Amino acid sequence: MPGFCKSATLEEIEKYGHVLTPGRYVGAAEVEDDGEPFDQKMDRLTAELGECFAEADRLKDRIRANLEGLGYGE
């Protein structure tokens, strides 16, 4: 199963100098093209990541405030 597992033969293992790094044998799984151009995808994903960072900061601040309210602040 490409990208997940493979039953390598001894000849294949010998060919790679008995190195057992899985990536040498399993390869990569086929990736289905979603049709979204790379630049657009990176813009969208970067914006989404920025939103996640902002939410993480908001939650971190809220947790700190709750801890301070309980007397465990910095």
Question: Digits of tens for pLDDT over the chain (74 positions)?
Answer: 778 888 889 999 999 999 988 888 888 888 889 999 999 999 999 999 999 999 999 999 999 999 999 999 77
Confidence (pTM): 0.56
Q: Residue 56: which residues within 8 A CB-CB, separation 6 or more?
A: none
Count how many Cα atoms sit within 13 Å of the Cα of residue 49 in the half-sphere of its side chain.
Answer: 6
The H or E element that residue 14 is part of is helix 10-15
- What is the domain partition of the chain in residue ranges? 10-27+36-69
Q: Residue 41: which residues within 8 A CB-CB, separation 6 or more?
A: 34
